[in-house]
Amino acid sequence: MKKINEIKKLLPNEIEESLLISAIFDISRKYDNLFVEELKKIKKEMGITIDSIERRKLRKAYYYSLPNKYNLKFIYNDEQLSEVLDDFRARLKNYNSNNIILSLEKRIEDVNNNRIDDNTEKWLLQYNKKRKKWKYSLLILRVDQELYIKLDYSLDRLSSFIINTYSELENYRYLAVVFDESIYNQEKKDITWQLVYKLSIFAENFMQFKGEFFSFDKEKQIDRLSNFLKNRCIKNYNKISSSFYKNISYGFKFEDCYISSDLGKKILILKKIELDDSNVPCPSCMSTIQRGNSYPEIFLKSWECKNPKCPDRSKSGRGRRFDEYGTYRYFKLSENNQDNVIDDKLYKNWHRDIFEKNLNYIEYLIKAYSWNKETVCLVNFNNKYDSYGRNVVIDNGLTYFNKAKTVFTSLPIYKLFKNLSFEININNINGTEKLSDGLEIINEDSSLHLKTLEPNQIGAAITSPPYYNAREYSQWDNLIFYLIDMMINANAVYYSLANNSYYLYNIGDIVSEDNIYVNSKMSRHRIQLGFLSCLFFELVGFNLCGNIIWDKGEVQSKRNSTINLFSGYIKPVNCYEHMFIFKKGKEIVDKSKIIKISPVIKINNKGENKYKHTAPYPLALVAQIEEFVNKDKYILDPFLGSGTSLVWCKKNNYKGIGYELNKDYYNLCKENIGKE
């Protein structure tokens, strides 16, 4: 065939034609979909799972007709061959042909030697030398009432643990903070949720990066925030913006908050990510001929292998991309050590982030967030625990809690919203408008219009606000802008409420780009919207007096179909949202609970959105306001959406007022309420 002969001329050595064709199909990946379908069929028929290591070996066997236990073999026709050869020749012209040819030769050499490079032992040996500078690969802190008393009821001493252990914890690894039962302050008030949210925010912001980070344009970010604040009539906007953007705040990244079914335990999962520019050997060829110009996450550096003989170059001759944590996780998987296996029962018990109260969380945390032979430190635990193949150290001393210079109120994000709370309060005025109808639906911005109302008419509030950049109607340039707008609204609601009134605020975490320091996919992570909301709510004057956990049940998610049931690979499905209970006035009794309510199913069997809104919430969720309502006053929803809150008010003979800025949704509200 003329096309294959042209390619042969480019090769320095004579290669058997059938082997060359197999290698070209392999490198092109053009028919990988056929391989995937074959695997799916095998897994379904045999009821098995195939991990990524075995999958890689089977793919090689598939294209090169090598012996394998499933008799996989790629059979191509003349049309497919012609298409792949044309594609290969086009790539030789448009990309670095030398790199493509070298990669092709390397693959053929590996097949001739019946070899798939396994660098597990070599790579881990090098990495284990590096990790000697850290003491621990996983830290688990248990916070209970006894410890809090020993710390003199001090949040700052508790948060000092994060500072004092940071350098001892391996990079890209986890800190788990277990809040065991309720924690009370000296006035006997349950402050568990205050501690949870403040410690989580502190962990993400306590470090300050003062050097140059190539994608952080400080002056541009200052200007953007200044202009935003100016448009919101905030004074001192330049000073506030410059102060916040003096450095990059970092530390840990919020990963999850597990909750026990009786609310007795809350477990924060935090991942350390510190900038590390040291070279990482390529997992495919072990070379450090590479360039590092990419960051999947802020400060998590990835590399591109530039070794022309690397066997895993792409079909265009590009080198393999990898980062240190991902490579370590991959090689620990390839070791196939049974100490790192998450058995089916353990996975089933922890596949959601609400877990049964009697489960052994120590076993799960150790197996899910560390690997065999690593050192795990348990702090404030009194019993001996199974090691599960790890080196488990118990430390019950208080040296880690020595007070540090950085405290919660010194965080740049705290100072930002503290300063904003002063500026926002200046604009508060008492209106004169009286409500007259039993149900008021207003097509206005509630942040502005609430100021026109005569005080003392509203006796409770409930809402599910727009989630940051989650829908087409809720888009902001960055997370800080969103939080500021939500704070302005919370302030307006606060001043519209009668004293001793409650506000139920339904909010869930999301995964998105925060765009605070860099505007790119690099800033994509799980954002703790709920805990950040607690920060500005308390600063405008509300008291946090509980959290109603909305358990949405078995949420559909691809995470439920994970095949790598090994340490480091599993993540629970986020199955709940917060409904924080805030009060305008002092509160002693904690009103937290878990409620199980199925989400609204929007799409009917015709594929239509029968609710005509992208995020309606169930009536049963609105019903949680009933125990907090003054029957003589109005119930407010400042973000009415499809009108569910007022539908509930009408059904149950309560007075209600709701705001919806979007004209289409405002009309939808009137339609839905009118149906009742």
425-437 pLDDT, tens digit per residue, is 766 677 899 998 8
Q: Which tokens sit at 3?
A: 């096309």
In contact, 197 and 592? CB cutoff 8 Å: no
Q: Which of 288, 303, 335 is the last residue of a domain?
A: 335
Q: Torsion-angle region of residue 553: left (phi > 0), alpha (psi -120 to 50) or beta? A: left
> What's the pLDDT at 579?
98
pLDDT average, residue stretch 252-278: 97
Q: Which residue has the higher pLDDT, 547 or 87?
A: 547
186 located within any domain: yes
User: According to the model, what pLDDT value does residue 561 have?
Assistant: 55
- The H-assigned helical ranges of 404-557 are 412-426, 446-449, 479-496, 529-540
CATH number at residue 463: 3.40.50.150
Task: Identify which of 46-55, 477-486, 602-611 has the greatest average pLDDT.
Answer: 477-486
In this predicted structure, the answer to whether residue 370 has a pLDDT above a threshold of 70 is yes
User: For residue 252, is pLDDT > 70?
Assistant: yes
What was the pLDDT predicted at 103?
A: 80
Residues 584 and 653 in one domain: yes
The pLDDT tens digits for 559-575 are 555 568 899 998 899 99
Query: Does residue 41 have a pLDDT over 60?
Result: yes
Q: Do residues 56 and 197 both lie within one domain?
A: no
Q: Are strands 136-143 and 375-379 parallel, antiparallel or unpaired?
A: parallel
Query: Is the confidence at residue 113, as pLDDT, over 70?
Result: no
What's the whole-number mean pLDDT along residues 401-413?
96
Average pLDDT over residues 37-57: 82
pLDDT at position 602 is 46
Tell me, letter by letter, the H, E, C secondary structure of 60-107.
HHHHHCCCCCCCCCCCCCHHHHHHHHHHHHHHHHHCCHHHHHHHHHHH
Virtual CA dihedral for 238, 239, 241, 247, nearest 10 degrees?
A: 130
580 vs 336, more confident: 580
Q: What's the token pair of residue 233?
A: 């009539």
Whole-angstrom Cα distance, residue 581 to residue 511? 24
- In degrees and rounded to multiples of 5, residue 455 shows phi and psi of -60, 165
Q: In this predicted structure, which of 94-103, 206-215, 239-248, 604-613 has the lowest mean pLDDT?
A: 604-613
Q: Are residues 61 and 173 in the same domain?
A: no
118 in any annotated domain: no
Mean pLDDT, the chain, whole residue set: 90
Answer yes or no: do 100 and 148 share one domain. Answer: no
Give the CB-side neighbour count of residue 489, counting CA atoms within 13 A: 25
Q: Which residues pair with 169 in a beta bridge?
A: 136
Which pLDDT score, from 0 to 100, does residue 606 have?
44
Last residue of a domain, one of 77, 112, 147: 112
Please provide residue 475's backbone torsions phi and psi, each rounded to the nearest 5 degrees.
-115, 130
Reduced to 3 states (helix: H, G, I; strand: E, B; else coil), residue 13 is coil
Q: Is the pLDDT of residue 388 over 90?
A: yes
Residues 6+ apart with CB under 8 A from 44: none
Mean pLDDT score, 340-348: 94
What is the distance between the alpha carbons of residues 360 and 362, in angstroms, rounded to a whole number?
5
Could you tell me if residue 242 is inside a domain? no
Q: Where are the alpha helices (DSSP H) in 427-565?
A: 446-449, 479-496, 529-540
The fraction of the chain above a pLDDT of 70, given in percent, is 94
The predicted structure's pLDDT at residue 608: 41
367 with 474, same domain? Answer: no
Which residue, among 370, 368, 333, 313, has the nearest Cα to 53 in the 3D structure? Answer: 333
With respect to residue 124, please indicate whether it lies within any of the assigned structural domains. Answer: no
Single-letter amino acid, residue 476: W
Please name the helix (run of DSSP H) or strand (run of DSSP E) that holds residue 141, with its range, or none: strand 136-143
Do 521 and 599 belong to one domain? yes
Residue 614 has pLDDT above 70, yes or no: no
Backbone angle region of 431, left / alpha / beta, with phi > 0 → left and psi within -120 to 50 → alpha: beta
**621 and 505 share one domain:** yes
Of 78, 112, 146, which marks where a domain is finished? 112
Residues 510 and 659 in one domain: yes
* Residue 237 lies inside a defined structural domain of this protein: no
Confidence of residue 353 (pLDDT cuts 50, 70, 90): very high
Asked if the model's pLDDT at residue 112 lies above 80, the reply is no
Q: Is residue 487 part of a domain?
A: yes
Instruction: Please state the domain count of the chain.
Output: 4
Tell me which residue of 384, 385, 390, 383 sits closest to 368, measured CA to CA. 390
Sign of torsion over alpha carbons 666, 549, 551, 139 = positive
Looking at the fold, whether 389 and 420 belong to one and the same domain comes out as no
Q: Is position 490 within any domain?
A: yes
pLDDT digits (tens, 9 = 90+) for 145-190: 999 999 999 999 999 999 999 999 999 999 999 999 999 999 999 9
Please identify which residue in the block is written with the tokens 């790598």.
Answer: 564
Give CA–CA dist 267/247, Å, rounded. 29
* Torsion angle, alpha carbons of 399, 403, 404, 409, to 10: 140
pLDDT at 92 over 90: no
Domain assignment present for residue 220? The answer is: no
Alpha helices in 268-411 (DSSP H): 324-335, 344-349, 361-369
pLDDT at 605 over 80: no
Q: Is the pLDDT of residue 612 over 50?
A: no
Angle (CA) 446-452-455 rounded to 5° is 100
Same domain, 79 and 99: yes
Task: Report which of 552, 447, 533 is spatially closest to residue 483, judged by C-alpha positions.
Answer: 533
Residues 391 and 529 in one domain: no
- Mean pLDDT along residues 619-639: 94
The boundaries of the domain holding residue 580 are: 411-425+437-554+573-675
Q: Residue 478: its pLDDT value, please?
A: 94
Residues 270 and 286 in one domain: no
DSSP H/E element including 226: helix 218-231
